[in-house]
Chains A and B, each alone.
Chain A
Amino acid sequence: MDWFLSLTRQETTHSRLIAMAFLTVLTLVITFFLPPVADSQLAGGAAIAIVVLGLSWLTGWSGQISLGNSGFMAVGAYAAGIWAHHHASTPLVFTFVLAIVFGGISGLIIAIPSTRLRGPYLAGMTLAFSAAVTPLAQNFTSVTGGEGGLFMNSLVTPRWFLHFFSGPNAAINASAQWSADLAVVVAGVMFFFMANLFHSRTGRAMRLVRDNDVAAELMGVNLARTRTTAFVVSAAYAGLGGALYSLLQASVRPETFPIGLSITLLTLMVLGGIGTLSGAVIGGIIYSFSANLVAHVNSLTGVNPTSNVGANMQGIIFSVLLILTMLFAPRGIVSLQYPLRRLFRARPATPTPKDVHL
């Protein structure tokens, strides 16, 4: 359980910590100036960024790939949703912990057989898991609410927050911004935990397992336990992200978690940069404003947004970006920093990490 303790112990550098805190506060300030629509988009993006970070940890640090994180999201969302549906007044923290625990348990169940699997087998098996989740949610109607899902009203704007707002739409504006602020704070905390985990003993062991599992075993790293830990953490992040995402929508429905969502998560991770904190932030931002991006592309190409082509434009753009990034810049947008750093620094160039897995 050393990995668990290292979540809150500061393992990362001071500068990274300060940067993260600064970014969180900056985003909170920005939400004051954004219109309510952009605030809700940002909130969704923050929830997705948590999931992308969990996936990024799994893929980038332990070298395992998962197409099941939309399934873990669904597990967390339903755990939170079923509870919040019946106990709307429970403190949010408790609901979140519930989502984390159930997400983690589902990860553990998937991880046990997966520790014996590699790459393609693992990806296929996690895909089978996420493919099974939606029909399960649809079938067990008495618990999950079936096709229609469950409603929950846990995300109530506190009274003191309302005082900042005035005018005719005060309540709506306040609620949109409260959701965004809450999501950003939760994301900030989860990024802080992950930053610690990245640089902890477990994180280092994880990278060794990824690069050379024989060497890791010789050094006393328990392969099965390390790989399982990676999965549990990733699934817990997905569970929390899924719960947050559903709470923002005030409902949890099976159609929120199709297999396509796993592909979207993969795209966001690869676009941002696999295995990095900033990559997950970039992924979250891209997700937040993907609707605007798609609308822009539609208007540039003159495609009618309500037509067939317009409705599927997002899928086409995302998957083309995923393929192109993987073929030509597998380390994602984050890797742009290396040529930039070389440009702006007088001292000898920062060596590009050659041993990076991807």
Chain B
Amino acid sequence: MSVFLSSPFMHNIFAGLAQGIIYSLVALSLVIIWQSTHVLNFAQGAMAMIATYIGMTEIDRGIGYWWCVIISVLVGMALGGVTERVLIRPLYGKPEINPIVVMVGFLGFLEALAAAIWTSTTRNITEPFSQIYFKSNGHLVFLSSFIIFQIVLAMGIMLSVAALFRFTKLGLQLRASALAPEVSRLLGVRVSRMLTIGWILSAGVGAIAAVIIASGNFGLFPTDMDGIFVASFIAAAVGGLESPLGAVAGGLIIGLAEQFILAYWSPDVAPLGGIIILVVALMIRPQGLFTKNTIRRV
């Protein structure tokens, strides 16, 4: 058994899943925003990056790792709420290109701002768990406490989000205002507040993903979430932007696919792997693999 766990194949499985679950997390956050306000938030990664910078640099002042994580998430949530109120609210009912352009501008702004304040050099955040692989009977098992932490934290967040949407009154209101805003408003749901809460939730989830990324080998730098955002968007689009479950599955698929292309084909073509998957998936089912109903805007 331990020989099997030590095989290169299992290494790729573990590495792919660990990376994929980050994509799942960011893809989930994209889907939450998409469902509440029908905006694809191009600045999602950059917002999380800024929140990580603000929170995690508190480590320099001697504040503990976990407090910094909490600060990052709270800053991320606040940023999400403010963004929805200030940048997105004026654009409801405008052509769908307008919010895209504004959020792309916000992405550029946040990255330039981060580089101006904290420089573009990579910062390493002291990781809370070791990255050294476990050993069993003298064989390396390609899991480390950091990978386990990463997977457990991401799973925990996803389950809590799912529980929030499924079992709480707030979750019901959120789903109702995404599905039928007018009816919800008539029934006393404060829809506009729900939209803001959707953004707050989503930005919080994104911030956690960015914290995990910054704590690992990747480090923290102003454009560190660009690649993650692109892969996560592909994950969300493959699953269908409407489906949280699809986003999570899509993330894992993309993570595994990238890892296997890297390992078994060529690192040169790895950047194209995600696009190829996206193109093929969209050719088969343009509305996403996990979306039940086809929605066609006329």
Contact = CB atoms under 8 A, between A and B. Distances in A.
Contacts of B54: none
Interface stretch (B99-107, B186-194, B207-215): B99-107
A267 interface: yes
Contact of B97 (A65, A116, A327): A65
Given A214-B298, A312-B113, A131 B226 contact: yes
Interface stretch (A40-48, A81-89, A118-126): A118-126
B119 interface: yes
Interface stretch (B73-81, B135-143, B174-182, B273-281): B273-281
Contacts of A214: 298
B268 A125 contact: no
A128 B234 contact: yes
Given A59-B97, A67-B104, A263-B107, A312 B298 contact: no
Interface in B75-116: 87, 90-91, 94-98, 100-102, 104-109, 111-113, 115-116
A358 B96 CA distance: 9
Interface in A287-331: 308-309, 311-316, 318-320, 322-323, 326-327, 330
Given A140-B268, A319-B106, A308 B117 contact: yes
A32 to B, nearest CB: 36
Given A132-B275, A136-B272, A113 B283 contact: yes
A129 B273 CA distance: 11
Nearest to B107: A263
Contacts of A315: 108-109, 111-112, 115
B108 A322 contact: yes
Given A319-B108, A323-B105, A131 B271 contact: yes
Interface residues of A, number: 48
B95 A358 contact: yes
A330 B237 CA distance: 28
A30 interface: no
A116 B108 contact: no
A35 interface: no
A330 B117 CA distance: 30
A147 B128 CA distance: 35
B115 A128 contact: no
A2 B19 CA distance: 48
Interface string B269-298: 111101100110011001000000000011
Nearest to A323: B105
Contact of B102 (A65, A127, A128, A327): A327
A288 to B, nearest CB: 20
Contacts of A67: 104
Given A135-B271, A312-B112, A267 B227 contact: no
B116 A116 contact: no
A259 interface: yes
Nearest to A129: B275
B8 interface: no
A315 B40 CA distance: 22
Given A124-B40, A312-B113, A323-B109, A65 B100 contact: yes
Given A136-B272, A320-B109, A125 B237 contact: yes
A136 B108 contact: no
A248 B97 CA distance: 33
B42 interface: yes
Contacts of B91: 327
Nearest to A322: B105
A311 B271 CA distance: 29
Interface string A137-157: 001100000000000000000
B156 interface: no
A113 B282 contact: yes
A117 interface: yes
25 contacts: A63-B95, A63-B97, A116-B283, A119-B97, A119-B100, A120-B96, A120-B100, A121-B282, A123-B40, A124-B42, A136-B269, A260-B111, A266-B101, A267-B105, A309-B116, A311-B115, A314-B112, A315-B112, A316-B116, A319-B105, A320-B109, A322-B102, A326-B101, A327-B90, A330-B94
Given A63-B97, A65-B100, 16 more contacts: A113-B282, A116-B286, A119-B100, A121-B241, A132-B271, A132-B272, A136-B272, A263-B104, A308-B115, A312-B112, A312-B116, A315-B111, A320-B109, A323-B87, A327-B87, A358-B97
Interface of B: 34, 39-40, 42, 87, 90-91, 94-98, 100-102, 104-109, 111-113, 115-117, 119, 226-227, 230, 233-234, 237, 241, 267-272, 274-275, 278-279, 282-283, 286, 297-298
Interface of A: 59, 63, 65, 67, 113, 116-121, 123-125, 127-129, 131-132, 135-136, 139-140, 214, 259-260, 263, 266-267, 270, 308-309, 311-316, 318-320, 322-323, 326-327, 330, 357-358
Ranked nearest first, the 9 interchain pairs of A and B with the lowest CB-CB distance are: A315-B112, A120-B40, A322-B105, A319-B108, A319-B109, A139-B268, A312-B116, A132-B271, A119-B96
